[in-house]
Amino acid sequence: MSATRFTRALLRLPGRNFAAGISTGAGGAPTFESTRAQHARYLAALQSLGLATRMLPADERFPDGTFVEDTAIATAHGAIITRPGAASRAGEPEAIALALAGDFSTLAYIESPGTVDGGDICETDAEVIIGISHRTNEEGAAQLGRWLAGIGIASVTVDIRYCTGLLHLKSGLAYLGEGRLALAPGLPDWPVLKAYEPVVLAPEERYAANCVRINDRVLVADDYPHFVDTLVRLGYEPLPLPMSEFAKMDGGLSCLSVRY
Ligand code: CIR
């Protein structure tokens, strides 16, 4: 299994009411035009990396629907449809399940009362790290862990509920490949982290911890020069993308696609 090599990606266009999604509101409201422009840049980046992409139409019942990562977890050995932890997002997985059904012979489902947001799931080359958060509950994490075990993938949970500023696990952590994790500063000393080489971001660049290794490149939010320098020093080829509009809605690069 590889957690860094992909051939396909599923995305959903942001709708006109994108700004009505859930947000802590720190950065102001996104504009529709800029959101669409940034989304187009993201799509083009995935295509430039050789991924076959599928774009679902916007669905204004779900202003957060463009954050498709939260609705499904796809691995080399199968896919599972989640039950997002925010009530306003509960209907999002339906269209995602239909779209993924063509590529996966069977789909598993997180069942009530379990909740899981895909943003809390970080796959490395060795295991899957599951964040228990205000979106992913212990029951959901346990269901996911059992399903992963059934397809031969080990998992470990970490509790992020008391990590200030972290909506999802991957808001502050990303697998870079080669046994390395990009980490927001100040994360707890979770035992699982000892198995990885940490690449800790500067406090003012913590948003960039939500980067995505895809094949030979690392997608990274633009305007984070120290982290880009670090990546280059480590031998990576960063691909910076404008993300300001998604950041205003508490989303990042990983959230905008399901990659497999
Ligand atoms: C939400 O609060 O659900 C959305 N506004 C942002 C979701 C971001 N998704 C992610 O980090 N995986």
Which ligand 1 atom is the nearest neighbour of the CA of 170?
A: 11
209 domain-assigned: yes
Burial label for 103, CB within 10 Å (0-12, 13-18, 19+), is: middle
86 domain-assigned: yes
Q: Cα–Cα distance between 127 and 122 in angstroms, integer?
A: 8
CATH code at position 154: 3.75.10.10
Q: What is the pLDDT of residue 76?
A: 87
Q: pLDDT over 70 for what percent of the chain?
A: 100
Residue 63: CB within 6 Å of ligand 1? no
169 domain-assigned: yes
Active site residues per annotation: 168, 255
- Residue among 12, 67, 88, 253 to mutate when testing ligand 1 (max atoms within 8 A of CB): 67
- Which pLDDT tens digit goes with each residue over 194-232? 999 999 999 999 999 999 999 999 999 999 999 999 999
Find the 64 Cα to ligand 1 centroid distance in Å: 7
The residue assigned the tokens 């679902």 is 56
- Which pLDDT tens digit goes with each residue over 139-171? 999 999 999 999 999 999 999 999 999 999 999
pTM: 0.97
Find the 118 Cα to ligand 1 centroid distance in Å: 9
Residue 171: CB within 6 Å of ligand 1? yes
- Which pLDDT tens digit goes with each residue over 34-90? 999 999 999 999 999 999 999 999 999 999 999 999 999 999 889 999 999 999 999
Q: How confident is the model at residue 2 (pLDDT cuts 50, 70, 90)?
A: confident
51 domain-assigned: yes
What lies within 8 Å, CB to CB, of 133 at 6+ separation is 85, 117, 120, 160, 161, 166, 167, 168, 169
Residue 22: CB within 6 Å of ligand 1? yes
Q: How many residues are recorded in the chain?
A: 260
Q: Domain range holding 89?
A: 8-259
Q: How confident is the model at residue 26 (pLDDT cuts 50, 70, 90)?
A: confident
1 domain-assigned: no
Residue 14: CB within 6 Å of ligand 1? no
Give the total number of structural domains in the chain.
Answer: 1
Please give the structure tokens belonging to residue 28.
Answer: 């102001």
Q: How confident is the model at residue 1 (pLDDT cuts 50, 70, 90)?
A: very low
Residue 21: CB within 6 Å of ligand 1? yes
3 domain-assigned: no
Segment (H or E) for 231: helix 225-233
Find the 70 Cα to ligand 1 centroid distance in Å: 7
Find the 56 Cα to ligand 1 centroid distance in Å: 18
135 domain-assigned: yes
Q: What is the pLDDT of residue 25?
A: 82
240 domain-assigned: yes
Sign of CA dihedral 205, 135, 42, 35: negative
